[in-house]
Structure 1
């Protein structure tokens, strides 16, 4: 059984009584030859019969695809791409949900020497057009007829686009058939020409303002990221129990987070499944059928699991029991954290007994919602918060929080195993250094940092702006004495009230968003006398609240002014305010009758708030919060 690596504690640098810099040496050797395209073929040579994927059949059952079979499919598709005239270094776009075909196409394109360009399946015509134009994409795979129609209407604006293939109408078979006469050796030659310095992908940042920019990520960037993450998160990616590690991926492969984990699973030979639908019923059914040992998630998913569990308990008349169990779980998680840091003896006999009682009543149901076997969740995108992290630890699911950017090939920090610091985003991923600038901005160095942003004219990367070799992130953060990073907000989102108080909105927004009734929250107050907030309602939580309060007959327009609902939301705001100073607290809020959506231009594809657009579109409501 693989033994976990010895973790070297971070090396910290203190300046003016503050930890300003932290670094962790790499756990994995630097890759100096080859590319990601070699991974399927190495797996096939060394473990051809090992299941690489589980795929869902039409009847709902799951079946395995071996490493040998996957490599054969990658080879056949790569030959087809070559036969269809695609040259090394040309760009191929993929616009689809999280499917097996997505990952197959990614590796086949690399094996043919191509550069892949993900496009969110929910992108508008203008968003997709910008990416395909800027990257000068020559071929594009889409999932269904709607996406085909969307891009077909733009063909006149896309002179470089020669091929448009649709997965649901046999795109893979079409490409494979085209390459049947191409010798295997030609694919081997294309692979041999790639190196860690070769460009693997252009990932366009969704951008909260302005047009998305293409981040140029190399094969070496991904190797540095996944190899060190695999070694760091040893319990997740390696077999340390009798259970074979496996994960069901449901986050978009268009996002660097999901993409990194998919590559990491193939690299570590972890069985991978794909779940294209994130509708609650569909996802729960897929989790129950696949039964993963770990998951990749965002705080919204864990908040949903927690809130659904509580709503179910309330419906059964057991809300108070759930709340007691939640408090026990939080205390248990905090005690485990203290023990692992040497600050306490761990959960006492009474706390263990209480946890055992509530395990059967509550925690087992929480784990069942994640498939029943899930022991770990890698969580990123935004801070989860101390309360939920402690709850899930107490419920038997360890959360590894992380922080990163597209520009850093996903994670640049992660929770170290057996050394959690709840409420932080962990230590630097091995091989990474962090620094806190004078203004609080987080700066990064490491082999996983991207080459630069794509320049369409030169068809190459323009080196990113840096500060003495450090990449600025735009995020504000702080390091504690042991090198753990806490993210406190976005530099450009920092609110400065008319009284001169600096307020980072993210902590308040994250706390409120964890409430069952709240979908999104935008904190405002720049150049205003106090802090206020726009709040939108979570549909499932609202429907449950209406049933419990016998107000199903009321419309959302009526509910935004309902005294009982506003009283519940005020309690949530009061709880959030208890975490900050009086000057930072939310004095007034308004409930909006509709949610912020990507379609409405208020969310990015990765669910981040487009602040400028929201402030512009809800200017009247904001003015009213200040008596305007």
Structure 2
């Protein structure tokens, strides 16, 4: 059958796979699942209900919820009548809610739970709100199902026929590291072209194929992935929350999941922390296997002796890592920010194929993706350019992208659109280099700065390297216009406690520990050991430890965990000044 619009993927899955579990979510301790047939029936009834409610083509409906099947139901039901979904992060502020509701001219709102409802209701005005959870005084989404059940499917089919591939299907407001969020306009063709390109390089296992989903559906990364999973016939299980991922992995035993580097870093740090708790021979074997893995390069012949050792390490150590991920993992896709090469090496060594990709909301999102085979994987690169997408490097090093996946523009912002879309090429703002079809990202164009000595500093690459230290949770490189780079460091207090325990240092409070001379000396050693990877002009000369982690709610991070540099510079202006005033 022809697949021209994203909602065509539902009848496609039904005709090809007819899954007994298309979507599933744990409720009250039990997994509640929906088959492909139920998926289609619910979506059709919702579409008919939206028509009965008077939702017109091109009108906007907001979805604010954690991942759950209802999210998909509403999203695809809107598509079938030509309406436009406006997904929003539950974690953003009420002020951002109000801005997006007004800017997008939202007509109706769907919320997940009580907390989101209260935040949305404060600024919703007279907009109708439906909830996914049963909430007192709020109309439940299933009331729409009942209304749609009496609708005429012939009317719905006529509505679907009017929706064309180039029609807008969503406006995604990017979190942005500065200023108000921008509404990225994506058509069915934008995202579907990307779905088909990416699906070409994914190989589902024979028989049952499962995925655990926990990255937010309101972000284009997991949104496009969800359509890939529909197309490839994966059963999608939604994790309860970030804290239960480990438990859910063991329950679901997925073949694939998507993640961001920060979560992989946390997994790795926990594994290493457990290694330190071991004693005797077990501890020696653990770190022997770990160090072996950190040297691994999947695309290089490592030699017979290394291969023998790695086989042994996989049997006695790394097999436990795979079991912790459910035992069936074929591939982990990492995106949204840079993956530390050492993590890629050690996970590949452990038989866990971590495949890094690159993209932006404006590119639907995938521009490049790593292949999950030893012949084509390149550690430190973000993969090969996917089918139908073109990439070139501008004279100043900026990555430019052209293809059917490139957005239609920013909603109601033609000037901003013109700034980034020139002669058919989207200007990403990222700096990189190409080697044939392989792409490497080196930094963000707007984040590079110059010292008073005229030397350029690329902070992102440095920050990624320094976070390899298990004692460093978060770090920002500063020094624009100063005579040397410095850093604000948020320690990994969990790792710091473990370190103090091993060294018999009494741990009092986070605030007191980061002022102790011996702890400051330890962090100086960590900085010195990582400085050697950079030129003298780039090396961190001074740093200051902070007791409070940066977060989304507190404003220092975007919902995709990127640093809001301007916010951090303003919030910690005095501490940064203290660094440069110190003798």
Same fold by TM-score greater than 0.5: yes
Would you say 1:388 and 2:356 are equivalent positions? no
With over 3 angstroms needed to count, the CA separation of the structure-2 counterparts of 1:126 and 1:397, relative to structure 1, is same
Q: Is 1:37 aligned to 2:1, yes or no? A: no
1:552 and 1:243 mapped to 2: Cα distance? 54
3-state secondary structure, aligned to 1:487: strand
Task: Report the counterpart of residue 341 of structure 1 in structure 2.
Answer: none
* Matched ranges for 1:96-495 at <5 A: 96-156=65-125, 162-169=127-134, 171-231=140-200, 233-235=201-203, 238-239=204-205, 242=206, 244-279=208-243, 282-317=244-279, 319-331=283-295, 333-334=296-297, 336-338=298-300, 346-418=301-373, 419-455=376-412, 465-480=420-435, 482-495=436-449
Distance 1:131 1:549, change over 3 A: farther
- Measure how far apart 1:53 and its partner are: 2.5
Q: 1:323 to 1:276 in 2, by over 3 A?
A: same
Residues 525, 531 of structure 1: 8 Å contact kept: yes
Structure-1 separation of matches of 2:566 and 2:416: 28
**Secondary structure at the counterpart of residue 12 of structure 2:** helix
Q: Distance in 1 between matches of 2:252 and 2:423?
A: 47
Contact 1:35-1:191 at 8 Å conserved across structures: no
- Could you say if the C-alpha distance between residues 277 and 177 of structure 1 is closer, same or farther in structure 2, counting changes exceeding 3 Å? same
Matched-pair contact (CA < 8 Å) for 2:362–2:406: yes
Consecutive unaligned residues of structure 2, counting only runs of 5 or more, are: none
CA RMSD of aligned residues (A): 2.2
- Show the counterpart of 1:8: none
Superposed, 1:51-66 pairs within 5 Å as 51-60=21-30, 62=31, 64-66=33-35
Q: 1: distance between equivalents of 2:490 and 2:221? A: 26
Q: CA deviation at 1:319?
A: 5.0
SS at match of 1:252: coil
Q: Give me the whole-angstrom Cα distance separating, in 1, the residues matched to 2:494 and 2:162.
A: 52
CA 1:95/1:57 → structure 2, altered by over 3 Å: closer, same or farther? closer
> Cα distance, 1:94 vs. partner?
0.7
What CA distance in whole angstroms lies between the structure 1 residues aligned with 2:559 and 2:493?
19
Aligned length: 574
Supply the distance in 1 between the matched residues of 2:514 and 2:263 (Cα, whole angstroms). Answer: 25
Instruction: Output the CA distance in 2 between the equivalents of 1:451 and 1:144.
Output: 32
Task: Judge conservation of contact 2:275–2:287 (CA < 8 Å) in 1.
Answer: no
How far is 1:32 from its partner? 8.7
- The one of the two structures with greater contact order (alpha-carbon pairs below 8 A, sep at least 6) is 1
TM superposition shift of 1:551: 4.8
Compare 494-503 and 353-362 and name the one that shifted more. 353-362
Once residues 207 and 274 of structure 2 are traced to their aligned partners in structure 1, the CA distance between those partners, rounded to angstroms, is 30
CA distance in 2, matches of 1:579, 1:32: 52
8 Å contact from structure 2 (residues 24, 69) kept in 1: no
Name 1:559's counterpart in structure 2: 513
Moved more, 463-472 or 119-128: 463-472
Q: Alignment partner of 2:299: what SS?
A: helix
Q: Which moved more, 1:63-72 or 1:492-501?
A: 63-72
2:422 match: secondary structure: coil
Note the C-alpha offset of 1:349. Answer: 2.7
2:291 is paired with a residue of what secondary structure?
helix
Query: Given that residues 498 and 528 in structure 1 are in contact (C-alpha distance below 8 angstroms), is that contact kept between their aligned partners in structure 2?
Result: yes
> Which segment drifts farther, 175-184 or 569-578?
569-578
Distance 2:485 2:284 in 1: 33
Cα distance in 2 for partners of 1:125, 1:453 equals 22
Q: Check conservation: 2:507, 2:513, Cα contact below 8 A.
A: no
Q: Which residue of 1 aligns with 2:56?
A: 87
Q: Offset of 1:324 from its aligned partner?
A: 2.1
TM-score, normalized by length of structure 2? 0.94
For the 8 Å contact 1:455–1:461, the answer to whether it is kept is: no
Aligned-partner Cα distance in 1 for 2:169–2:416:
12
Distance 1:47 1:56 in 2: 23
Determine if contact 2:101/2:124 at 8 Å carries over to the other structure. no
* Inter-partner Cα distance in structure 2 for 1:356 and 1:243: 28
Deviation sequence 1:549-603 (CA, Å, 0-9, x none): 4556411111112334333333332333222111111111111111111122111
Alpha-carbon distance, 1:466 to partner: 2.6
* Residues 474-507 of structure 1: per-residue CA shift (max 9 Å, x gap): 1111123x33211111111102111111110011
Structure 1 unmatched ranges of 5 or more: 1-30, 339-345
C-alpha distance in 2 between matches for 1:550 and 1:140: 55
- Structure 1 residues 208 and 293: alpha-carbon distance in aligned structure 2, compared to 1, 3 A threshold: same
Deviates more, 1:560-569 or 1:103-112: 560-569
Distance 1:548 1:464, change over 3 A: same
Q: Distance in 2 between matches of 1:355 and 1:567?
A: 36
